[in-house]
Amino acid sequence: MPQFSLYEEAFHPSPWHRTWAAFRESHIAIIGLFVLGMFVVFSVFAPVLSPYDPNAQNIDGLLIPPSWAMSGSISNLFGTDALGRDLFSRIMYGCRITLGSGLLMVVLAMLIGVSIGTLAGMLKGVRSSIVNHLLDALMAIPTLLIAIIIVAILGTGLVNSMWAITLALIPQFIHHTRRFVRSEAKKEYILASRLDGANKWQLFVHSILPNMTEMLVVQGTLALSIAVIDISALGFLNLGAQSSLPELGAILADGLDVAYLAPWNVALPGITIFVLVLSINVVGDGLRSALRKRMSQ
């Protein structure tokens, strides 16, 4: 027992404080976060920020070049497309649809995948194996094919393609969660908690789940970038979002018709998809190393 009494530290950094401090050290991750934040702001506040209605057609101003070109004008920042719609507004709404649906799909897939994976990890023997490989058949088929099958049955549309991609994302989560729960359950601190009288549910919530953040962040960002690419690919192939809907892939497909006349109609949505996916990956990578540093400094 200490013979002297010390003042207690007034401030104890919470786990999130520590993660943020470690995250801040990487400049690339911070830049990625700013870019991703910009996309999120554009998506959330698109109705307020966008200068035009994304579907309003301006017959007088077809294929106006972007503002930095010689014949461009500042009133249409990214120019207009073949129907005279403002490209900047369309891309802003496109981020909203692509990023928003991507996030929705990943959260859904994560919830389903992690619960099934945990179940598989906690079960033993054949039952565990069956649960684990329940959705494995989906992994053999590319997302695009699943989407085509679903679209063939239910018809084209953004929601139908979202179901296809969500289904395709789930098996990865199941496998990673099961493997993680398995390896974690063998460790001694689980035994220690078990000796405290914790049942399986309590073990999972209080002992395994806190350790799972790193895995979830890695898998989540990976899944998010896959989801964004897939949803725009399906939009581009006219299987997902239809061309009236401002979705990044669909905008790209629209621009393809006039690619020689107005290359910005292809380049700008393409660059947007690229930067979006890149920033997601950079932020995910930064978060992962920050979480790892938090645990082992």
Partner 1 sequence: MTDIMQVNGLTFFHSDTKRWLKKPEIFQLGPIDLSVKRGETIAIIGENRAGKSLLAKLLVGAIPASKGEIELNNHKYLAKYNKQDTQQKRTHDIRMILQHSSESMNPAVPVGKILDEPLRLNTELSEAERKPLIEEMLTKVGLLREHYYFYRHMLSDGQQQRVALARAIMLKPKVLVADEPFAALDPTIRSQTVNLILQLQQELGLAFIFISHNLGIVRHIADRIIVMENGNIVEEGKTETIFRWPQHATTKKLVLAYQSLVPQHTIR
Chain residues binding partner 1 by CB under 8 A are 1-2, 6, 8-9, 12, 187-189, 191-199, 202, 206-207, 210-211, 213, 295-297
Closer of 214 and 257 to partner 1 (Cβ): 214
Burial bucket for residue 211 (CB in 10 Å: 0-12, 13-18, 19+): middle
To partner 1, the closest distance from the beta carbon of 290 in angstroms equals 14
Closer of 212 and 224 to partner 1 (Cβ): 212
Closer of 15 and 37 to partner 1 (Cβ): 15
CA distance 185 to 191: 8
Looking up tokens 């992962």 gives: 288
CA distance 81 to 84: 5
Closer of 125 and 197 to partner 1 (Cβ): 197
To partner 1, the closest distance from the beta carbon of 271 in angstroms equals 39
**Neighbouring-strand partners of residue 80:** 86
To partner 1, the closest distance from the beta carbon of 134 in angstroms equals 28
To partner 1, the closest distance from the beta carbon of 220 in angstroms equals 17
To partner 1, the closest distance from the beta carbon of 190 in angstroms equals 8
**Coil vs helix vs strand at 259:** coil
Q: CA quadruple 156, 162, 167, 171: dihedral positive or negative? A: positive
CA distance 210 to 143: 31
**Neighbouring-strand partners of residue 86:** 80
Closer of 4 and 260 to partner 1 (Cβ): 4
To partner 1, the closest distance from the beta carbon of 187 in angstroms equals 6
**Coil vs helix vs strand at 86:** strand
**Cβ neighbours around 140 below 10 Å, total:** 8
Closer of 184 and 247 to partner 1 (Cβ): 184
